[in-house]
Amino acid sequence: MTTHVRPALVIFAGLALLTGLAYPLLVTGIAQTVLPEQAGGSVVLGVNGRPVGSELIGQNFTDPRYFWSRPSAAAGGPYVSYDGTTLTGSGGSNLGPSSADLRREVEGRIAALRAADPENMALIPADLVTASASGLDPDISVAAARYQAPRVARARNITEDTVHQLIQYHARGRWLGIFGEPRVNVLALNQALDALSTLARTLGLTS
């Protein structure tokens, strides 16, 4: 029996060290060397140098002064991407196109957008009223950002043209010019808005 158990234990220990220790350390080392920012979670730093989020994970913005992210199906509110009570923030609803529950959710999100900007009669882009598979999308479509521009401009007392320029500056095109759709990172766009407000106060252009 010893002749069978000992080789099995040696093989088990060797594979455990190889796949559970050596390989992860090797991959981590390569990633930290070649792509240090991405390997570290693509963390976004604020003006004080502290982390404020990640380029890869959506956040919950409800203040009318900010652009709102895509809705999450994992939480209770129309624009909640993370629920601190249940510690959940990712997951799809699995509701089909014919679902009455999905229809009610979409109608609720439409109502929330209309209530936040009653004067805006433009068509609401689909990604503002439908949740993604993960519920944590960091980006919204350029159309979704442009739809929110009037509300943001009014709340910040700046021109819509200024907001549209920020959107255009932060817009990303299709990957390799083929894959995906033009999009805007919500956190980066909101940071740009705050930076603009700080600059305006510094220059004495606003109270």
Give the tens place of pLDDT for each residue, 49-91: 677 667 778 787 888 999 998 887 765 544 444 555 554 556 6
- Strand pairing of 43-45 and 171-172? unpaired
Do 77 and 14 sit in the same domain of this protein? no
Mean of pLDDT values over 195-200: 74
With CA atoms as reference, report the closest residue to 188 among 125, 145, 126: 145
The 3-state DSSP class for residue 183 equals: strand
Instruction: Please report, to the nearest 10 degrees, the dihedral formed by the alpha carbons of residues 91, 95, 96, 99 taken in order.
Output: -160
| Residue 163 domain flag | yes
Q: Are residues 71 and 5 part of one domain?
A: no
Same domain, yes or no, for 109 and 146? yes
Q: What is the pTM assigned to this prediction?
A: 0.73
Task: Please check whether residues 111 and 156 belong to one and the same domain.
Answer: yes
**What distance in Å separates the CA atoms of residue 137 and residue 129, rounded to the nearest whole number?**
13
Are 135 and 198 contained in the same domain?
A: yes
Strand pairing partners for 139? 185
Q: Which helix (H) or strand (E) holds 136?
A: none
Indicate whether 207 belongs to any domain.
Answer: no
Which H/E stretch holds residue 118? none
**Adjacent-strand bridge partners of 45:** 51
**Does position 192 have pLDDT exceeding 80, yes or no?**
yes
Query: Where in the sequence is the domain holding 166, given as residue range(s)?
Result: 42-202
End-to-end CA distance of the chain: 84
The total of structural domains in the chain comes to 2
Which pLDDT belongs to residue 99? 84
pLDDT band at 39 (very low <50, low <70, confident <90, very high): low
22, 64: one domain = no
**Does 14 share its domain with 61?**
no
Q: Do 173 and 193 share a domain, yes or no?
A: yes
Instruction: Order the strands of the 171-172 sheet from edge to edge.
Output: 139-141, 183-185, 171-172
Asked if the structure places residue 198 within a domain, the reply is yes
